[in-house]
Amino acid sequence: MTLSSESSSELIHALRSDPATLPTSLFGLPGEPPHERVLLVADEQTGLKAFIAVHSTARGPAFGGCRFWRYDNELAALNDALRLSQGMSLKNALADLPFGGGKAVIIKPAGEFDRPALFSAFGRAVQSLSGVYITAEDVGTTTDDMLGMREHTAFVSGIPRDGSFGGDPSPKTAWGVFVAIKAGVRAHLQRDSLDGVRVGLQGLGAVGWHLAGFLHLEGAKLVVADVDAGRVKRAQEVFNADAVPADEIIGADVDVLAPCALGAVFDERSVPKVRARLIGGAANNQLAKPDDGDALHQRGILYLPDYLINAGGIVSVAREYRNEGDEQMVMAEVTRIGERVDELLQRAASSGLPPAREADAWARSKLVRPD
Ligand code: NAI
């Protein structure tokens, strides 16, 4: 980890003042092998403060998006970067991509800031890693941010090409989640169609909105929640969705729950409230802890691991980055996420492990350089 003197003193202050977010190590997650690299980036002129976490390069360069978010403190941002980058290693491995796992987190400055200048500074930081880490969009970042960064680094993807292939990964992510939900509904709810299946959608953003469209077209009945009332109203109009308050969606009376907002939605308090029998959504790190996945399993709820089913976006930006294939091939590759769900359920049936534990073991067994 690279620490500037100013930032390290702030970090130590945060360590002392907020023990709740204190990681046991700055180099990795509790009980896990350390990350390969964690770069702390600060640029006084633009106000940039960011972490670039490289979890593993065993399969190739670490590939994963850049989150732009307001955090309570620097340690919360570091923790997010550590957790998200580990998730990217598992996601890229299960998607059979020749990439390792990494993620960047930029702390959104309080007050006014010059966005293009901030992302230029971040692009220079990505370039300084000489390709060990490749960036793309994540929550809070846009294709325009990626375009701006491309002036400063070659190691960026998620930029539209020829009007169709590449660019915003969110529709591909939504498609992968959609095919996974269909596979889960077939296997766990014994229903061949989504017609009349009630799906609770938490978050109607870039991914959630596209997912809502796919589900609606297949006849699912949507129950939606978002902290943005405008998006909820639009979903009621466009998809004839029912709406519930944001703090009630986890316990909504639905068959399927699709979390598409932020992480750690399932913990000791929320798991007992879930009424859905299947969970499949785009949000990263939905389980606060692995034990929460066990608790869902014990309740007979099939939890489809986020990093297995939300890989559509990384498949898209990875193929774009390597200049491989075209739109049709990427869609076919993303559609295979449905088959991976079937394979996971078969593996879990033979091992006797809950599917979330099985997915973890399966992904970790693939954290080696592909042939
Ligand atoms: P987004 O920022 O476009 O949308 C998030 C939506 O959730 C917003 O509409 C927001 O108002 C809403 N929201 C926030 N807090 C909420 C709450 N407490 N209750 C209900 N709604 C809430 O983000 P995006 O890109 O749609 O991503 C959603 C999730 O999927 C994130 O966790 C992201 O990391 C993950 N993901 C996204 C990928 C992509 O291609 N965009 C790829 C893989 C994962």
We report the CATH number of the domain holding residue 290 as 3.40.50.720
The answer to whether residue 20 scores a pLDDT higher than 70 is: no
Distance 352 CA to ligand 1 centre (A): 32
3-state helix, strand, coil in the chain (%, to 5): 45, 15, 40
What values do phi and psi take at 297, rounded to 5?
-60, -45
Please report which helix (H) or strand (E) contains residue 256, including its range.
Answer: strand 256-259
The answer to whether residue 24 scores a pLDDT higher than 90 is: no
pLDDT at 246: 97
For atom 4 of ligand 1, the residue with the nearest CA is: 205
Q: What is the mean pLDDT of residues 42-52?
A: 97
Distance 369 CA to ligand 1 centre (A): 31
Place of tokens 């929640």: 225
* Ligand 1 in reach of 225 Cβ (< 6 A): yes
pLDDT at 162: 67
Q: Domain check: are 246 and 104 in the same one? A: no
Coil/strand/helix, residue 9: helix
pLDDT in tens, 289-341: 999 999 999 999 999 999 999 999 999 999 999 998 889 999 999 999 999 99
Among the listed ranges 20-29, 68-77, 296-305, which one has the minimum average pLDDT value?
20-29
Q: Domain check: are 58 and 134 in the same one? A: yes
Closest listed residue to residue 206, CA positions, set 86, 316, 111, 95? 316
Percent of the chain with pLDDT over 70: 93
* HEC profile of 269-331: CCHHHCCCCEECCCCCCCECCHHHHHHHHHCCCEECCHHHHCCHHHHHHHHHHCCCCCHHHHH
Q: How far apart are the C-alpha atoms of 168 and 174, rounded to whole Å?
A: 11
Q: How far apart are the C-alpha atoms of 79 and 71, rounded to whole Å?
A: 11
Q: Which domain holds residue 277?
A: 170-310+340-365
Angle 53-58-59 from CA coordinates, rounded to 5°: 105
Place of tokens 């403060």: 49
Q: How far apart are the C-alpha atoms of 65 and 143, rounded to whole Å?
A: 12
Is 103 an annotated catalytic residue?
yes
Among the listed ranges 47-61, 94-108, 156-170, which one has the minimum average pLDDT value?
156-170
Q: What does the block give as tokens for 315? A: 């498949």
Q: Domain check: are 143 and 216 in the same one? A: no
**Quick check: is 331 in a domain?**
no
Q: Domain check: are 175 and 276 in the same one? A: yes
* Ligand 1 in reach of 246 Cβ (< 6 A): yes
When divided into structural domains, the chain yields a total of: 2
Q: What is the mean pLDDT of residues 63-71?
A: 96
How confident is residue 27, by pLDDT bands cut at 50, 70 and 90? confident
The answer to whether residue 210 scores a pLDDT higher than 80 is: yes
How confident is residue 31, by pLDDT bands cut at 50, 70 and 90? confident
pTM over 0.75: yes
* Ligand 1 in reach of 318 Cβ (< 6 A): no
pLDDT in tens, 213-233: 999 999 999 999 999 999 999
The answer to whether residue 9 scores a pLDDT higher than 70 is: no
**Quick check: is 330 in a domain?**
no
**Quick check: is 180 in a domain?**
yes
How far is CA 75 from its chain centroid? 19
The answer to whether residue 243 scores a pLDDT higher than 50 is: yes
Any idea what the CATH number is for the domain that residue 63 is in?
3.40.50.10860
Query: Mean pLDDT of all residues in the chain?
Result: 92
pLDDT at 8: 40
* Ligand 1 in reach of 82 Cβ (< 6 A): no
Q: What is the mean pLDDT of residues 176-187?
A: 98
Q: Domain check: are 215 and 98 in the same one? A: no
Q: What is the mean pLDDT of residues 131-135?
A: 98
pLDDT at 25: 74
Q: What is the mean pLDDT of residues 260-279?
A: 96
